[in-house]
């Protein structure tokens, strides 16, 4: 049921996290679930106690919570993460796959929720999916267009599913030449072939942090000057490797330390302003 999905997603939400997805999950649950509206302690869920928590990992693409039911002392686990990961965790689910693909075709993201069955902390069953609308910033398409005008090619790198990435690319005025990140580490292709794919693609989907570093590395081998944006701890290696590492507004200390430039305003339009200003300075120096 909807309430089950909200309850289990709330139990597996990282306490105090400012991640937009976690905030959206917590807000939806707090607005809809009566059990959360009347609780005396805002940091607890009546009847349950979270005894262990594994934060979201960009490599596994999921988080995990261990929960105790106070009344029965029963312990179970809740997993929340990328739909393809959760579907695999529960041993496959054709109906869920169809629903996720249908949502992705409309540019909607999904978050899978699963819990362990009673008496078995290793076997998971699907609770359901949460639908998320995560549209690009209003200025993103114009920013990309202006970058292209200045001869700066923009590549989209995302952890989202391939079908979602293609839809978002279309909305941003980019071509749909978006490849699965597996192309970056394909053992059956030579380094030259992989580099060709990287240079020709407009972006990559289902990316993990190591892939970002790989993209920078491959493009630099072609003699290209590469700028990389990022905000998290896992982005730091790619930011440091890039010719210009750009930490976006609201980034972590690790990203800020690894970057050459730190954006103080939200969005990427500031990058275009930086390009125009720097080119004007170089023009005067001539």
Top-tier CATH class for 2-132: alpha beta
Overall residue count recorded for the chain in this entry: 286
**What average pLDDT does this structure show over 117-136?**
87
**Is this structure's pTM higher than 0.75?**
no
Confidence at residue 192, expressed as pLDDT on a 0 to 100 scale: 92
Domain with CATH 3.40.1110.10 in the chain: 2-132
Question: DSSP code of 136?
Answer: P
Of the listed ranges 14-18, 89-93, 204-208, the least confidently predicted one is: 14-18
Domain with CATH 3.40.50.1000 in the chain: 140-285
**What average pLDDT does this structure show over 159-171?**
87
Average pLDDT value over all residues in the chain:
89
Of the listed ranges 38-42, 159-163, 256-260, the least confidently predicted one is: 38-42
The answer on pLDDT for 106 being more than 80 is no
Tokens of 164: 């979602």
From residue 167, how far is each of 157, 206, 208, 259, 269 by CA, in Å? 14, 14, 20, 30, 21
Confidence at residue 133, expressed as pLDDT on a 0 to 100 scale: 77
pLDDT band at 100 (very low <50, low <70, confident <90, very high): confident
pLDDT band at 30 (very low <50, low <70, confident <90, very high): confident
| Cα distance between residue 286 and residue 283, in whole Å | 5
**What average pLDDT does this structure show over 151-169?**
89
pLDDT band at 268 (very low <50, low <70, confident <90, very high): confident
**What average pLDDT does this structure show over 241-251?**
93
**What average pLDDT does this structure show over 73-79?**
93
Residues 6+ apart with CB under 8 A from 23: 17
Question: DSSP code of 129?
Answer: E
| Cα distance between residue 242 and residue 228, in whole Å | 6
Pairing state between β 261-262 and 227-230: unpaired
The answer on pLDDT for 96 being more than 80 is yes
**What average pLDDT does this structure show over 13-34?**
81
Topology (CATH level 3) of domain 140-285: Rossmann fold (3.40.50)
> Could you tell me what percentage of the chain is helix, strand and coil, using 3-state DSSP and rounding each to the nearest 5?
45, 20, 35
Give the rounded distance of the alpha carbon of 52 from its chain centre. 23
Tokens of 237: 């290696």
**DSSP H helices in the chain:** 2-11, 20-32, 34-37, 83-89, 94-104, 140-149, 162-171, 191-200, 209-221, 236-241, 253-258, 269-285
Q: What is the pLDDT of residues 185-241, one digit of tens each?
A: 888 899 999 999 999 999 999 898 889 999 999 999 999 999 999 888 889 999 999
């Amino acid at each position: 049921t909807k309430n089950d999905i909200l309850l289990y997603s709330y139990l597996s939400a990282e306490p105090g996290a400012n991640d937009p997805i976690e905030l959206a999950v917590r807000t939806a649950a707090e607005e809809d679930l009566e059990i959360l509206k009347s609780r005396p302690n805002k940091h607890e869920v009546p009847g349950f106690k979270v005894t262990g928590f594994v934060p979201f990992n960009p490599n596994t693409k999921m988080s995990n919570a261990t929960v105790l039911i106070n009344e029965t002392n029963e312990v179970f686990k809740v997993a929340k993460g990328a739909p393809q990961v959760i579907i695999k965790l529960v041993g496959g689910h054709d109906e869920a796959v169809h629903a996720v693909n249908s949502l992705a075709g409309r540019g909607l993201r999904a978050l899978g929720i699963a819990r362990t069955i009673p008496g078995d902390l290793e076997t998971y069953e699907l609770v359901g999916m949460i639908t998320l609308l995560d549209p690009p910033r209003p200025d993103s398409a114009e920013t990309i267009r202006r970058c292209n005008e200045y001869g700066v090619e923009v590549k989209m790198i995302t952890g989202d599913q391939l079908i979602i990435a293609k839809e978002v690319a279309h909305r941003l005025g980019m071509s749909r030449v978006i490849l699965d990140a597996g192309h970056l580490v394909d053992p059956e292709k030579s380094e030259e072939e992989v580099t060709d794919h990287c240079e020709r693609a407009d972006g990559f989907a289902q990316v993990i942090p190591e892939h970002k570093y790989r993209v920078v590395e491959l493009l630099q081998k072609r003699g290209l000057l590469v700028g990389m944006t990022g905000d998290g701890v896992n982005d730091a290696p790619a930011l440091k490797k890039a010719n210009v590492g750009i930490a976006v507004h609201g980034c972590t200390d690790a990203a800020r330390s690894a970057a050459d430039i730190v954006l103080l305003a939200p969005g990427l339009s500031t990058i275009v302003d930086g390009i125009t200003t720097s080119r004007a300075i170089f023009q005067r120096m001539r």
